[in-house]
């Protein structure tokens, strides 16, 4: 109950489905939320450019203006190209959808893998850059930068867990303040599923923005290139009014972003870009395996061309280790499943068996008690052998194991008691034609 209340404190009360339309963002708020990725890059990209130029010598700083113009042109090309994607896919045209529609499954999976990596790295890089700015203004905080990064990710995650409308209101003000502050700085001084992975990256790279950027940039430009390349294929296939200039625009976008992607992957390979280069095909392989699994499950569960098996027969066994109120409840439940239900006891101590048999006549609910001897004090060994004998009756014979289990009043008290029931359920989970039914008996406070 306390965990439930704590969740409500941070996340808020659940919203009914009927209220979802009232949670939509206004255009100014939506712009602040969905454009924050592009804005945040200005907080660290400029510094990275200048660091490289300084290493090349002070004379190289004169290239900062041409580089800035080239980056502005790159952004303009990407924005213009993506505008064509939005017009062609108004219902939602992310890199995955566009690539799958025009290039096929595997390019789409590459785009999807790149986007998944980018989602995590966007949080990690942006937070690291933000904390770097804070520690630059307040130097004594530098030693706490990793802790501050983790705390910032937690704040962002909690804000987003409360809902996009609430997070939009929270982030709109600082976003627009940042935009306004950029005009004051003008070429003079110049979103839990995800927060956890961003924290891991921040811990591994110790909150170092310079180490995270190569990973981030490769994933971004992979999705950019695939998306724009897909649009080129679309215009060649669909054509329509003005298709030739649209094809040219997306072609330039694909070419430019592709060149940037290859350049970053090659020049920053040893600086961390190799992680993304290896991670993308790994994720693609995982996607393919998962898709094949779901396809196989769907085929095996399909009723097409399915012939029902012959009627089932059932043996109901109540597994007992002692005789108490919880066992009595389980015995009564087993009788509702089958009038020929039996109780099963694995003997590890003859004296305990004798005491159990003495009490069985009064509390055994009329069920016969089968005692399996276990010379090596093993519970599962004799039980598995007995189940094997029962299952020799045929493939349509089912064995139902009824497990009595008492549940303590407090969750932490569960660790103080024997976990035999959990072991048995785990053992028979993948056993064909064996059904384990848990009968809980709840203890009072």
Categorize the per-residue pLDDT at 142 as very low, low, confident or very high, splitting at 50, 70 and 90: confident
**What are the distances in angstroms from CA 319 to CA 139, 167, 206, 435, 438?**
66, 53, 53, 13, 10
pLDDT for residue 19 is more than 70: no
Report which listed range, 83-97, 154-168, 253-267, 338-352, is most confident.
338-352
pLDDT for residue 343 is more than 50: yes
pLDDT for residue 386 is more than 80: yes
Please report where in the chains the tokens 């999705």 appear, as a residue: 223
How confident is the model at residue 357, as a pLDDT?
92
Categorize the per-residue pLDDT at 191 as very low, low, confident or very high, splitting at 50, 70 and 90: very low
Categorize the per-residue pLDDT at 366 as very low, low, confident or very high, splitting at 50, 70 and 90: very high
Non-local CB neighbours of 254 within 8 Å, separated by 6+ positions: 81, 225, 228, 229, 231, 232
How confident is the model at residue 237, as a pLDDT?
85
By the 8 A CB rule, do 370 and 345 touch? Answer: yes
Categorize the per-residue pLDDT at 327 as very low, low, confident or very high, splitting at 50, 70 and 90: very high
In percent, the amount of the chain with pLDDT more than 90 equals 16
Least confident of 28-42, 113-127, 391-405, 407-421: 28-42
pLDDT for residue 169 is more than 70: no
**What are the distances in angstroms from CA 64 to CA 38, 47, 48, 50, 52?**
20, 11, 11, 7, 10
Residue with the bigger pLDDT between 177 and 438: it is 438
When pLDDT is averaged across residues 107-127 and rounded to a whole number, the result is 78
Least confident of 22-31, 121-130, 320-329, 415-424: 22-31
How confident is the model at residue 189, as a pLDDT?
39
Average of per-residue pLDDT values in the chain: 78
Query: Which structural domains are found in the chain, ordered by start?
Result: 27-295 (no CATH), 313-442 (3.40.50.620)
When pLDDT is averaged across residues 263-291 and rounded to a whole number, the result is 83
* pTM above threshold 0.85: no
Number of Cα atoms under 13 Å in the Cβ half of residue 393:
13
């Amino acid at each position: 109950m306390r965990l439930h209340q704590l969740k409500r404190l941070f996340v808020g009360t659940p919203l009914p489905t009927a209220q979802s339309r009232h949670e939509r963002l206004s255009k100014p708020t939506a712009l602040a939320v969905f454009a924050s990725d592009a804005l945040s890059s200005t907080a660290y990209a400029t510094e990275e450019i200048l660091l490289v130029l300084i290493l090349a010598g002070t004379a190289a700083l004169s290239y900062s203006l041409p580089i800035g113009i080239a980056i502005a042109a790159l952004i303009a090309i990407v924005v213009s190209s993506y505008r064509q994607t939005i017009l062609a896919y108004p219902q939602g045209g992310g890199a995955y959808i566009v690539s799958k529609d025009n290039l096929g499954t595997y390019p789409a999976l590459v785009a999807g893998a790149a986007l998944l990596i980018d989602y995590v790295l966007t949080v990690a890089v942006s937070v690291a850059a933000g904390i770097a700015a804070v520690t630059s203004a307040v130097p004594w905080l530098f030693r706490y930068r990793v802790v501050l990064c983790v705390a910032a990710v937690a704040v962002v995650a909690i804000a987003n867990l409360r809902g996009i409308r609430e997070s939009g209101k929270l982030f709109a003000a600082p976003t627009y303040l940042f935009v306004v502050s950029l005009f004051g700085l003008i070429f003079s001084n110049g979103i839990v599923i995800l927060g956890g992975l961003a924290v891991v990256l921040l811990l591994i790279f110790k909150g170092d923005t310079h180490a995270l950027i190569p990973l981030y940039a490769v994933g971004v430009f992979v999705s950019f290139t695939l998306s724009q390349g897909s649009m080129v294929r679309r215009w060649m296939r669909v054509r329509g009014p003005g298709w030739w200039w649209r094809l040219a625009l997306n072609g330039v976008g694909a070419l430019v972003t592709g060149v940037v992607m290859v350049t970053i992957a090659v020049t920053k390979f040893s600086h961390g870009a190799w992680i993304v280069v290896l991670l993308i095909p790994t994720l693609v392989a995982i996607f393919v395996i998962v898709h094949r699994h779901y396809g196989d499950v769907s085929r095996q569960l399909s009723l097409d061309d399915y012939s029902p098996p012959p009627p089932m027969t059932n043996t109901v066994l109540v597994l007992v280790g002692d005789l108490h109120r919880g066992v009595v409840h389980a015995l009564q439940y087993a009788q509702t499943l089958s009038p020929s239900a039996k109780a099963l006891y694995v003997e590890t101590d003859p004296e305990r068996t004798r005491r159990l048999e003495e009490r069985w006549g009064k509390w055994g609910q009329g069920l016969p008690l089968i005692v399996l001897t276990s010379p090596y004090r093993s519970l599962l060994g004799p039980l598995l052998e007995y189940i094997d004998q029962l299952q020799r009756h045929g493939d349509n014979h089912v064995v139902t194991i009824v497990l009595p289990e008492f549940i303590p009043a407090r969750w932490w008290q569960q660790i103080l008691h024997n976990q035999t029931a959990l072991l048995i359920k785990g053992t028979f989970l993948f056993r064909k034609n064996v059904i384990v039914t848990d009968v809980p008996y709840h203890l009072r406070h």
